[in-house]
Structure 1
Amino acid sequence: MKSSFRSDLEKEKQLAKLLDHYYRKHLKKYCFKRVSNLKEQKKGVDLILTSKADSAVFYVDEKAQLDYVNDSLPTFSFELFYEKNGVQKQGWLFDSKKKTDFYALVTSIYADEENIFTSCNITFVNRKLLIDFLEQKGLSKDKLAEIAASQNSFHGKMELRALDIRNEGYLFFSRKNKVERPVNLILKLDFLIKLGVAKKLV
């Protein structure tokens, strides 16, 4: 378990070097500071962006598809719920304790060799705009919690009436293959960009 944890930390550390290179290149209007404080990271802050124009501050939570290196997925998983000691807990998307303003979704991560990352895509998602959109669609935190609670043994992909399953998104229940039995909202990145809640940085 420890070696796996160390391996994940090493991957994140090496990926951060590539991400910082992209931030320096493409976020010219902002100063950025990487956060190493674990307490702040638990509040959903990996990066602090400060606008050079008006000193406005934004908190960014980096989410990377490190389980899919050298692969390109058109979707991203937003964590709605998970279980701990048999009790359903709030996932990071709707967690009011998180300070996150933006998610930096890191996808299409490519490596020449283990932990030597050469390229990736970064899509910034405005958390508030995404939550507002979901609420307008009838997919509020409470409604999604109700759906999750009513499907305690369901495993796999579930269609939502509010979203087109092929072009927009769906729910995915990992009830059988993961200890935390997470429920995720899977959304198409292109759809989020078209909506105007996301923007591709690179």
Structure 2
Amino acid sequence: MSNRDYDHKNERKVGRFLDEYLYENLDWRTERQTETDIQRQGSDIIASIPGIGSKIHIDEKAQTDYLNNPLPTFALEIDSIQNGTKRKGWLFKPDKNTDYYLFIWMVDVYAFRRKQTRYGEKILIERGDHKQLKIDADALPRDTTSVMWRDEASLRADDDVDNDDLPGPRVEIDASSESIDAFESNIVSIPGRITSGGTVDRRAFEAEHINEIECLLVDRDTLQDYLAAAGFDRTTANDKATELRNRNNYGKTDVNAPDFYFYYTSPRQKNEEPINIVMYRRQLEQLAEETYTVTQNGIQ
């Protein structure tokens, strides 16, 4: 699976979370777009937003590569390589229908992955508070779908813990009391791709594993106007990206701008080798019309 396909799958999971916990709690009328061609035109949601307008096309952009450790920036794609051909990115592509971007930072998520350790293979579960729980993968039957986290006292009293109390198959839990307290009294489904065998390098999650995200609603024209005023409209940004690609100038390139820089990702990091304008979140916050912190308890 390419990085782009992986990102799109994860953004669909984020979309399900947004439908339930953000859009349902706003006085917007929304319609999620499910046809691939419409989504490719930069429209995940069509919304009527009081004070902004009707039939507003919103493109949801989630920072899913950085679960529980969100960056203080956001990458705005200028171009990338698709099937050996350079393609224009979503930031300046003229045929996009996007009116607004919803930029999303993944603050607190149950993130699952399999990892080989010196003691054997483990399933690791992380959260936004940087606490971690480990489960012996060999002790987890293939048909396991959930695990109940034990409370701190039970974990300390190893002799008194009876795994028969756990729902479903028995599992062996290896975790410190500090790691486990965030999971106390919860039951969380484990993604199927984790229990199906094989090592998964990247973190996996489902919509129900998202605990908290932070979002900025930014007008696309406002964003492009800001970049143009700083010297990078569609033409000059594309020219700069072409220069970097022709020189194989991977990594960060400063452009005498206080709030953004260019970044050319090497093929060792991503097959698509995207070139992005990376903008600091503080500037996106200045440009944003709305700011949301969304949890399973609603909007804060």
TM-score bracket, normalised by the shorter chain, equals 0.7 to 0.9
Letter in 2 for 1:130: L
Determine the structure 2 residue equivalent to 1:100. Answer: 98
1:74 and 1:33 map into 2 onto residues whose CA distance is 30
Q: 2:280 aligns with which of 171, 185, 188?
A: 188
1:39 counterpart = 2:131: no
1:51 and 1:198 map into 2 onto residues whose CA distance is 12
CA contact (8 A) 1:80 1:91 kept: yes
1:138 and 1:60 map into 2 onto residues whose CA distance is 26
CA contact (8 A) 2:78 2:88 kept: yes
TM-score calculated relative to the size of structure 1 = 0.85
1:154 counterpart = 2:249: yes
CA contact (8 A) 2:78 2:241 kept: no
**Where does 1:107-146 land on structure 2 (aligned, <5 Å)?**
107-112=105-110, 114-115=205-206, 116-146=209-239
Letter in 1 for 2:281: L
CA contact (8 A) 2:216 2:288 kept: no
Unaligned stretches of 5+ residues in structure 2: 112-204, 294-300
What's the secondary structure of 1:16's corresponding residue?
A: helix
What's the secondary structure of 1:132's corresponding residue?
A: helix
CA contact (8 A) 2:253 2:262 kept: yes
Letter in 1 for 2:264: F
1:5 and 1:187 map into 2 onto residues whose CA distance is 23
1:54 and 1:42 map into 2 onto residues whose CA distance is 23
TM-score calculated relative to the size of structure 2 = 0.59
Q: Which protein is bigger by CA-based radius of gyration?
A: 2
- Structure 1 residue runs of 4 or more that deviate by more than 4 Å after TM superposition: 4-8, 52-55
Determine the structure 2 residue equivalent to 1:24. Answer: 24
What's the secondary structure of 1:145's corresponding residue?
A: helix
Determine the structure 2 residue equivalent to 1:179. Answer: 271
Aligned residues: 193
1:17 and 1:39 map into 2 onto residues whose CA distance is 19
Question: Closer, same or farther in 2 for the Cα pair 1:159/1:119, shift >3 Å?
Answer: same
What's the secondary structure of 2:278's corresponding residue?
A: strand
Q: 2:68 aligns with which of 62, 66, 70?
A: 70
Determine the structure 1 residue equivalent to 2:160. Answer: none
Letter in 2 for 1:147: K
1:112 and 1:181 map into 2 onto residues whose CA distance is 29
The alignment yields a C-alpha RMSD, in angstroms, of: 2.4
Post-superposition offset of 1:8: 5.9
Percentage identity across paired residues of the two chains: 26
Determine the structure 2 residue equivalent to 1:14. Answer: 13
1:92 and 1:64 map into 2 onto residues whose CA distance is 14
Question: Closer, same or farther in 2 for the Cα pair 1:122/1:32, shift >3 Å?
Answer: same
Partner deviation per Cα, 1:3-34 (whole Å, 9 max, x = no partner):
x958963x444322321211222x32x21111
Q: 1:83 aligns with which of 70, 74, 81?
A: 81
Post-superposition offset of 1:134: 1.1
2:52 and 2:101 map into 1 onto residues whose CA distance is 21
